[in-house]
Amino acid sequence: MRTNTLKKIGIGLLVGLTGIGNSMAEATEQVPTDSGNTAWMITATVLVLLMTLPGLALFYGGLVRAKNVLSVLMHCYAIAALASILWAVGLYSFAFDHQEGGKWLGGFGHFFLEGIGQGDWASDFPETVMVMFQMTFAIITPGLIVGAFVERMKFAAVMVFSGLWLVLVYAPAVYWVWGGGIMFQWGAIDLAGGIVVHATAGVSALVLAKMIGPRHGFPNQLHPPHSPGLVMIGASLLWVGWFGFNAGSQLAANEAAGMTMLVTHLSAATAALVWCLVERLQTGKTGVVGIATGMVAGLATITPASGAVGPMGAIVIGLSAGVVCYFMCGIIRHRLKIDDSLDVFAVHGVGGVLGTVLVAFLGAEGVLGGLGLAENPAQSGVAYTSMQQLVVQLKSLGITIVWSALATVVIVYITRALVGLRVDEEAEFEGLDSAEHGEKAYSLD
CB 127 within 8 A of CB 320: no
- How many Cβ atoms from other residues are within 10 Å of residue 247's Cβ? 30
HEC string of the chain equals CCCCHHHHHHHHHHCCHHHCCCCHHHHCCCCCCCHHHHHHHHHHHHHHHHHHHHHHHHHHHHHCCHHHHHHHHHHHHHHHHHHHHHHHHHHHHHHHCCCCCCCCCCCCCCHHHCCCCCCCCCCCCCHHHHHHHHHHHHHHHHHHHHHHHCCCECHHHHHHHHHHHHHHHHHHHHHHHCCCCHHHHHCCCCCCCHHHHHHHHHHHHHHHHHHHCCCCCCCCCCCCCCCHHHHHHHHHHHHHHHHHHHHHHHCCCCHHHHHHHHHHHHHHHHHHHHHHHHHHHHHCCCCHHHHHHHHHHHHHHHHHHCCCCCHHHHHHHHHHHHHHHHHHHHHHHHHCCCCCCCCHHHHHHHHHHHHHHHHHHHCCCCCCCCCCCCECCCCCCCECCHHHHHHHHHHHHHHHHHHHHHHHHHHHHHHHHHHCCECCHHHHHHCHHHHHHCCCCCCCC
Whether 438 maps to a domain, the answer reads: no
Q: What is the pLDDT of residue 98?
A: 85
Q: For residue 257, is pLDDT > 50?
A: yes
* Short-list 127, 132, 141, CA closest to 177: 141
Give the chain's domain count.
1
The percent of residues in the chain predicted with pLDDT above 90, rounded, is: 85
Q: For residue 137, is pLDDT > 90?
A: yes
Q: What is the pLDDT of residue 50?
A: 98
Q: What is the pLDDT of residue 100?
A: 80
Q: Residue 378: which domain range?
A: 7-17+36-115+122-430
| Cβ-Cβ contacts under 8 Å for 24 (sequence gap 6 or more) | 14, 15, 120
* 190 phi and psi angles, rounded to 5 deg: -160, 85
Q: For residue 34, is pLDDT > 50?
A: yes
Whether 224 maps to a domain, the answer reads: yes
For the purposes of burial, counting CB atoms within 10 Å of the CB of 416, is it exposed (0-12), middle (13-18) or buried (19 or more)?
middle
Confidence of residue 300 (pLDDT cuts 50, 70, 90): very high
Confidence of residue 24 (pLDDT cuts 50, 70, 90): very low
Which residues, in sequence order, are bridge partners of residue 383?
375
Amino acid identity for residue 56 in this structure: L
Rounded Cα distance between 131 and 87, Å, is 8
The overall average pLDDT reported for the chain is 92
CB 76 within 8 A of CB 51: no
Q: For residue 122, is pLDDT > 70?
A: yes
Q: What is the pLDDT of residue 4?
A: 43
Q: What is the pLDDT of residue 377?
A: 87
| Cβ-Cβ contacts under 8 Å for 278 (sequence gap 6 or more) | 322, 323, 326, 327
- How many Cβ atoms from other residues are within 10 Å of residue 268's Cβ? 26
Whether 271 maps to a domain, the answer reads: yes
Q: Which tens digits make up the pLDDT trace of 377-410?
A: 888 889 999 999 999 999 999 999 999 999 999 9
Q: For residue 25, is pLDDT > 60?
A: no
| Cβ-Cβ contacts under 8 Å for 360 (sequence gap 6 or more) | 189, 373, 386, 387, 389, 390, 392, 393
Amino acid identity for residue 385 in this structure: T
Per the rule left: phi > 0, alpha: psi between -120 and 50, beta: everything else, 343 is left
Confidence of residue 1 (pLDDT cuts 50, 70, 90): very low
Whether 294 maps to a domain, the answer reads: yes
> Residue 363 belongs to a domain with what CATH number?
1.10.3430.10
Amino acid identity for residue 329 in this structure: C
Rounded Cα distance between 423 and 432, Å, is 8
